[in-house]
Structure 1
């Protein structure tokens, strides 16, 4: 029997958080080995387990996978969260790329210099309200189904729910004018596996604070 996946990353959200969300939604238990110091990161590099010298890295099924999208796609394929055919996978990938574009801005936001944060927040909010959220609202309206692709839960629904939670932490009213996105968020949050992940004490990480920012900079910069 294969062991639990092992996640190698610092003890914060970053690019690993979407992987945590997807594993949790798929009811996959996982372990984490935190990178606490620069020396921890250098050891992984020196051991030759980081193909491109960077994390996140996930040990799963005898592999040491890096690159966030590759990891997410493998998990989605393994746990039947990647559509039924190549056309559905193409749509899932297309929507997931849009989500990743916006989520990357959110990931980097806490690490912006204080003088840049206001402008960066405005950029994130405007892109959410005027580009990404209307697009996903339109997709849901166009087919009237419960999920974005094929009326079946896929990785992109999980990614979108995570994005909505992240955006609401920045602006609690951000999705009030998008009723179908609100309904999707409620639907995903009600799934037993996701509901468990959203409870206090789970492996979901809290928002990044100043102390965390300082620690991450010491490790990766």
Structure 2
């Protein structure tokens, strides 16, 4: 029994620690990937400018930016590097160089779409409706047709190879984000509909999609005000 409690303490001490705002932004895909591989993590929410300045003073932010993740004795910044590290560590990065570059390509494409969401809360009210229209148009005409064809040509349940990769996880995240703006967005993409249902049923992902998980809601005015205060964005 004593050994069990010692193990639990050590295990808790080894949890990755995520430094970001209490919202989606660039940290959300990192939360998704850690949840998918079943890794518990702690979060430090930046709510005051002083917290951010303390991290700068400690030289914890290599390029003076968040997100930052403490993991495996490192303080990692740059979301792409963090995601690739997690994917490699947990075998979600393909079996060889060719699969890895396909995963990178799909992830980068999905990220381009998701960045439209990240900027949306900070737009002027008169620009938000146009941005939603742009998101829906690009999803329908540029991004989702690509993934529909990839699934059709590949003939497997996943985008790359015949197993789950970080590209699948991020695509599901993006699909659900677009559906928040347009519920019937997948009506013209039957393979993506099936993909969404299939990936959503993976146990760790299914758990992450349940209420009470560390998945974040759509950004609200409080999130925007906090980001502006901490980063002094005016």
Moved more, 96-105 or 169-178: 169-178
Whether 1:175 aligns to 2:180 is no
C-alpha distance in 2 between matches for 1:95 and 1:141: 15
The DSSP-based 3-state class of the residue aligned with 2:176 is helix
| Aligned counterpart for 1:138 among listed residues 118, 137, 149 | 149
Deviation at 1:107, TM superposition (A): 1.4
| Aligned counterpart for 2:134 among listed residues 103, 119, 123 | 123
Whether 1:45 aligns to 2:62 is no
- TM-score of the superposed pair, with normalisation by structure 2: 0.92
Aligned residues, how many?
Answer: 221
C-alpha distance in 2 between matches for 1:12 and 1:93: 25
The within-5 A match list for 1:152-167 is 152-167=163-178
Segments of structure 1 that go 5 or more residues without pairing to the other structure are none
The DSSP-based 3-state class of the residue aligned with 2:198 is helix
- Residue 61 of structure 1 is matched in structure 2 by 72
C-alpha distance in 2 between matches for 1:181 and 1:107: 23
Structure with higher Rg: it is: 2
- Residue 211 of structure 1 is matched in structure 2 by 222
The within-5 A match list for 1:65-80 is 65-80=76-91
- Residue 7 of structure 2 is matched in structure 1 by none
C-alpha distance in 1 between matches for 2:78 and 2:154: 32
Moved over 2 A (4+): none
- Give the RMSD, CA atoms, in angstroms: 1.0
| Aligned counterpart for 1:6 among listed residues 17, 29, 39 | 17
| Aligned counterpart for 1:202 among listed residues 204, 213, 219 | 213
1:128-163: per-residue Cα shift (whole Å, max 9, x none)? Answer: 100000000000000211000001100000000000
C-alpha distance in 2 between matches for 1:188 and 1:17: 17
